[in-house]
Amino acid sequence: MALVAQEILERGPVLRSRGEAALGAVDPDGELVERWRAGDEVAFEALVRRHERRVYRLVLRLLGNREEAEDVAQEVFLNLHRSGHRFRKEALFSTFVYRVAVNAAHNRRRSLGRLRARLEGLTLRQATGDDLPYAPRGPEDSILGGELRAQLERGILELGDALRTPLVLRDIEGLPYAEISSILGVAEGTVKSRIHRARQALRRQLRSPRDWEEPQR
């Protein structure tokens, strides 16, 4: 017990999200967006190349199906091109991109039907075993079995949209709470509470006595 308490105090509670960006910073896409709005289509193509990874990654996490994700990712960029005049520069362009992507993924899920999408995702995962690939990121991750990661992926897909989306945006995309609040159009407090509920749901799914034993002397 003493060791655990010591670990908590030494390691500290802070979990840094990856790529956390500060709101209010200068928009790194600002120049390209300006050129695009002035009629330069090449600038928009540069924006597509710059954001393709994050859009694809997000919609894949939200949909759990590669084919659907690719289709939706393409639609996201076509929608962005179509509705770019709505971007008002009050937020970062990347926030606008995330918002369009989240809406497109939610619409696709709705059109597929939640149950069908879930079943499709599960079936595909069971059949191929690789629709959501991951590889060890470090020593800690490398000792985790594939089963645990598969459980985690399954758990994410089984969450409802309201919990899964903020969880993915925070813990996988590494966005700050304020940006998530802006993307989803809900209060920051609501975002935090949903993320906590999502994490708790995943924790309960992953829980097994073998995995969570306290470190022993």
Partner 1 sequence: MNHEELRRRLSAYLEADLAAGERARIEEHLAGCPECRREYLELRHTVDLLRGLLEPEPPLDLAGRVIARLREGEGRPGVVARCRVRVSRIVDLPWLRPMATVALALGALAILRGLDLPLEIPGSRRSGVTPRSEIAAERSAGRPFRASRSVGSAAKPGSSEAVPPLLACLRAGGPARPELGPGDPCEHWDSWMVGLGMHDAPAFVVEVEAVPPPARERVLGRIGDFATRSGSAPLLAGTLRSAGDPRATRLANRIERISALSTR
Cβ proximity to partner 1, 115 vs 139, nearer residue = 139
* Nearer CB in complex with partner 1: 17/112: 17
For the bound state, the minimum distance from the C-beta of residue 113 to partner 1, rounded and expressed in Å, comes to 24
Q: Which of 117, 12, 21 is nearest to 60 (CA)?
A: 117
Task: Decide: 215 and 7 in contact? Cβ < 8 Å.
Answer: yes
User: What distance lies between CA 206 and its chain's CA centroid?
Assistant: 19
Cβ contacts of 197 within 8 Å, gap of 6 or more: 163
Q: Considering the complex, what minimum distance in angstroms separates the CB of residue 107 from partner 1?
A: 16
Closest CB to partner 1 among residues 116, 207 = 207
How far apart are CB 24 and partner 1 at their closest, in Å? 19
Residues 151/208, Cβ–Cβ less than 8 Å:
no
Q: How far is the CB of 88 from partner 1 (least distance, A)?
A: 9
Minimum CB–partner distance for residue 174 and partner 1 (Å)? 8
Q: Would you tell me which residues interact with partner 1 (CB under 8 A)? A: 1, 4-5, 8-9, 12-15, 17-18, 37-38, 41, 44-45, 48-49, 52-53, 56-57, 60, 66, 70, 73-74, 77-85, 132-138, 140-141, 144, 148-149, 152-153, 156, 167, 171-172, 174, 192, 195-196, 199-200, 202-203, 206-207, 211-212, 214
Rounded CA separation 127/131 (Å): 9
- 62 and 165 in contact (C-beta within 8 Å)? yes
CA distance 32 to 44: 7
Residue 118 or 192: the one with the smaller Cβ distance to partner 1 is 192
Distance between CA atoms of residues 141 and 213, nearest Å: 16
Cβ(191)–Cβ(184) under 8 Å?
yes
> Whose Cβ is closer to partner 1: residue 8's or residue 113's?
8
Residue 176 and residue 23: Cα distance in Å, rounded? 8
Q: Which residue type is seen at 52?
A: E
CB of 103: closest distance to partner 1 in angstroms? 16
Question: Is the Cβ of residue 56 or residue 96 nearer to partner 1 in the bound state?
Answer: 56
